[in-house]
Amino acid sequence: MNFAERYGPWAVIAGASEGTGASFARQVAAQGVNCVLIARREAPLNALAEQIRKQHGVECVTASIDLSARDAPQKVAAAVGNREVGLFVMNAGSDPNGAYFLDQDVSTWLELVQRNVNTMMACTHHFVCPMAQRGRGGVLLVNSGACYGGLSTMGAYCGSKAFTLCFAEGLWGEMRERGVHVLTLVMSKTDTPEFRRLMAEKGMPFPEDAASPDEVAALGLERLPHGPIANWGEADDQAGMSALSAAQRRERVIMIDQITKQMFGG
């Protein structure tokens, strides 16, 4: 199957208004897949959708949804309706705070976890169920190198990204024989507007080695069939961000899955 046959006819891209999310939208549309673009800010979403329609001739609809709200999964499902979704990209999930845990009201961190964990997991469940029944599709969960360890000003964020890492590995193990591809794309420093805003707010120079959003999105789509992890800037068999390479973590999931099936059946 080509890309559109495997991941079409519709893709849902959450967090699509700018940065890597917009890059994912453009590259998916270029493959002939219709797009549902979701983010909180309506104006940039609509501008991107219009650009995609003109350049790629696919259908493109938008939905302005706050993904940190408790009812976000229900709103996403309602916006998508009965469209057949073959690809779900969860790109929303940055940390705009850069603050110590006790320097923010707990509601700030609960909203972050709601978006990065609860909304992500609920939407994944909603879209993967029919994918598994059809025997094709893909889920791409955008992640951060923060998933590999805690940082003093990013405790809640690191925790939420560690959840994404383990969740993606487990889902990949479950779906790998059912035709549904699962990948968590672990990013490093990436030249997104959100990252530039945070660095400017903190009075810090922007790193010259930040990755291009287009290149990051291209890697994610390229590695999606191979799952469950792709680390930006590292070969599949190279360890850097983590003590284990993506290939080693993949083999670990397979090994433990086999042991579990031998013990409990299934």
State the Cα–Cα distance between residues 236 and 202, nearest whole angstrom: 34
pLDDT value at residue 81: 98
Spatial CB neighbours of 9, under 8 Å, sequence gap ≥ 6? 33, 34, 83, 84, 86
State the Cα–Cα distance between residues 220 and 232, nearest whole angstrom: 9
Q: Whole-model pTM?
A: 0.93
pLDDT value at residue 202: 73
Mean pLDDT across the stretch 53-76? 97
For residue 108, give the CATH number of its domain: 3.40.50.720
Residue 231 has pLDDT above 90, yes or no: yes
pLDDT value at residue 193: 72
Comparing 95 with 75, the larger pLDDT belongs to 75
For the chain, how many structural domains are there in total?
Answer: 1
Mean pLDDT for the chain overall: 93
Q: How confident is the model at residue 260 (pLDDT cuts 50, 70, 90)?
A: confident
pLDDT value at residue 138: 98
Residue 192 has pLDDT above 90, yes or no: no
Mean pLDDT across the stretch 176-203? 84
pLDDT value at residue 205: 83
Q: What is the pLDDT of residues 130-179, one digit of tens each?
A: 999 999 999 999 999 999 999 888 999 999 999 999 999 999 999 999 99
Least confident of 2-6, 14-18, 44-48, 186-190: 186-190
Residue 51 has pLDDT above 80, yes or no: yes
Mean pLDDT across the stretch 72-79? 98
Residue 239 is part of which domain span?
Answer: 3-264
Q: How confident is the model at residue 266 (pLDDT cuts 50, 70, 90)?
A: low
